Amino acid sequence: MATKAAISENPQKSGRFSIDETIGRDSAVLSGQLQVLFEKLFSPTSKKSLRRFSSREAASLLGVTDSYVRHIATQEDEVTSEKSATGKRTFSLDEVNTIRQVLGRTKPAYLPGRRETDHLQVIAVTNFKGGSGKTTTAIHLAQYLALRGYRVLALDLDPQASMSAMLGFQPEFDVNDNETLYGAIRYDANRRPVTEIVRQTYFPGLDLIPGNLELHEFEHDTPRALAARDSADTDMFFMRVGAALLDIQDDYDVVVIDCPPTLGFLTLSALCAATSVLITVHPQMLDVASMNQFLSMTSDLLNVVKGAGGNLDYDWMGYLITRYEPNDGPQAQIVAFLRSLFGDRVLTSMMVKSTAVSDAGLSKQTIYEAGRETMHRQTYDRAVESMDNVNSEVEALIRKAWGRS
């Protein structure tokens, strides 16, 4: 992978050394090589694009039969599709959405988005335990909803920006200064409207506010802003994410926030902006012990925020079991333990651990993007089924918040 010229000099060979310079050199070498690698893998001319869907898949996304989709494709002029050499029809997501509009004309229930009186759903996916499955959950939920015709905004609040990378934007190359949410929530004169920061993605119905390292700045700026605060002239830190979302709320049905694995000002502000919270839990004892600390600290901090005027009214909260291994006895015991403590706040569906998810992740894809033909069929089907079950349970919670069944 690395070229010979790129190897970073090893200062340990000559005795004691200064780590800042070494890390700096390593970073420069790594950054250069990553750029080369990404250009090879994802060259500017090979931008990410969404695959086409079979009529069976389109039917499932629309909630109608396969034959009905094929019927509409031949009967309605505005519905387009492609036919393969073997006569099989395929549809882009835009084409699926056109069918949805056609169906919605006679039966509005086919159009799932919120009505005028329904409030924007803002779902914070959180837990300060690293690797608990936040990004995997957030990206699959966002895509699941977009595939079903909701208008979705993915908000990447993690400086590591894995969700942005999954959506085709490399945080270190494609996202510049003031192009993350930090640009819209910062305290100084460089603040800019969030409308200038939102990006369209290759995925119809799914927009993104990308993340990168500059999000960290909010954690440094906030204590200074709190110390300097002498009047109510600026929004407190916990109102800032919500205030930014207000400017674009009419454009979306659901916002999915991928929170960082920390409990800083950014996460607290995201929790205040949220209408619901999904806490991802990997069912292992160390993770559950860490979650215990997370819950206790979150509760204390949010209590302070509430005292300062923060709004903490939620539609729902849920614990989602992630990377579950059905044949692992201790995991099953921990799940039973959590259910006995938290009752139906633990989602019934669990995200099962699957090589289909991790393999697709290697090429920055979700299992919804990777086609069935790219993997072992049974593995793929099981993974999609598990992910669909989780996401449809969340969809039902969203619909319940809008007073629908």
Ligand X SMILES: Nc1ncnc2c1ncn2[C@@H]1O[C@H](COP(=O)(O)OP(=O)(O)OP(=O)(O)O)[C@@H](O)[C@H]1O
Q: Which of 243, 361, 372, 401 binds ligand X (CB under 6 A)?
A: 361
Select from 282, 352, 275 the least CA-distant residue to 317.
Answer: 275
Least CB distance to ligand X at residue 255 (A)? 17
Of all residues in the shown chain, the one whose CB is closest to Mg ion is 135
Q: Kindly state the helix (H) or strand (E) to which residue 285 belongs, with its residue range.
A: helix 285-307
User: Dihedrals φ, ψ of 226, to 5°?
Assistant: -65, -40
Q: Which of residues 55 and 298 has its CB atom nearest to ligand X in the complex?
A: 298
Query: Which one of the spans 108-116, 145-153, 197-205, 347-355 is the region binding ligand X (CB under 6 A)?
Result: 347-355
Question: For ligand X, how many residues bind (rule: CB under 6 A)?
Answer: 19
- The contact mask relative to ligand X for 139-158 (x = CB under 6 A, - = no) is -------------------x
The reply to whether 351 sits near ligand X by the rule CB under 6 A is yes
Query: Which one of the spans 63-71, 87-95, 169-177, 355-363 is the region binding ligand X (CB under 6 A)?
Result: 355-363
Least CB distance to ligand X at residue 203 (A)? 18
133 binds, among Mg ion, ligand X, none (CB under 5 to 8 A by kind): ligand X
With contact defined as beta carbons under 8 Å apart, do 302 and 271 qualify?
A: yes
Distance (Å, rounded) from C-alpha 343 to C-alpha 60? 31
322 binds, among ligand X, Mg ion, none (CB under 5 to 8 A by kind): ligand X
With contact defined as beta carbons under 8 Å apart, do 195 and 248 qualify?
A: yes
- The contact mask relative to ligand X for 116-135 (x = CB under 6 A, - = no) is --------------xxxxxx
User: Dihedrals φ, ψ of 355, to 5°?
Assistant: -70, -20
Distance (Å, rounded) from C-alpha 12 to C-alpha 232? 53
Q: Which of residues 189 and 362 has its CB atom nearest to ligand X in the complex?
A: 362
132 binds, among ligand X, Mg ion, none (CB under 5 to 8 A by kind): ligand X
The reply to whether 275 sits near ligand X by the rule CB under 6 A is no
CA distances from 22 to 28, 39, 138, 160, 382 (A): 10, 26, 36, 22, 46
Distance (Å, rounded) from C-alpha 255 to C-alpha 142? 8
Q: Which of 353, 384, 395, 398 binds ligand X (CB under 6 A)?
A: 353
Give bridge partners of residue 278 from the DSSP assignment: 125, 318
Least CB distance to ligand X at residue 24 (A)? 24
Q: Which of 97, 98, 222, 354 binds ligand X (CB under 6 A)?
A: 354
Long-range contacts of 103-108 (CB under 8 A, 24+ apart): 103/62, 103/64, 103/72
- The contact mask relative to Mg ion for 157-186 (x = CB under 5 A, - = no) is -----x------------------------
C-alpha torsion angle, residues 61, 65, 71, 74 (rounded to 10): 20
The reply to whether 366 sits near Mg ion by the rule CB under 5 A is no
DSSP state of 154: E
With contact defined as beta carbons under 8 Å apart, do 199 and 170 qualify?
A: no
The reply to whether 322 sits near ligand X by the rule CB under 6 A is yes
- The contact mask relative to Mg ion for 130-159 (x = CB under 5 A, - = no) is ----xx------------------------
Select from 403, 349, 397, 392 the least CA-distant residue to 61.
Answer: 392
Residues 38-97 that bind Mg ion (CB under 5 A): none
The reply to whether 349 sits near ligand X by the rule CB under 6 A is no
The sheet with strand 316-321 has its strands ordered as: 199-200, 206-209, 152-156, 254-258, 121-126, 276-281, 316-321
Residues in contact with ligand X by the rule CB under 6 A: 130-136, 158, 160, 162, 261, 322-323, 351, 353-354, 357-358, 361
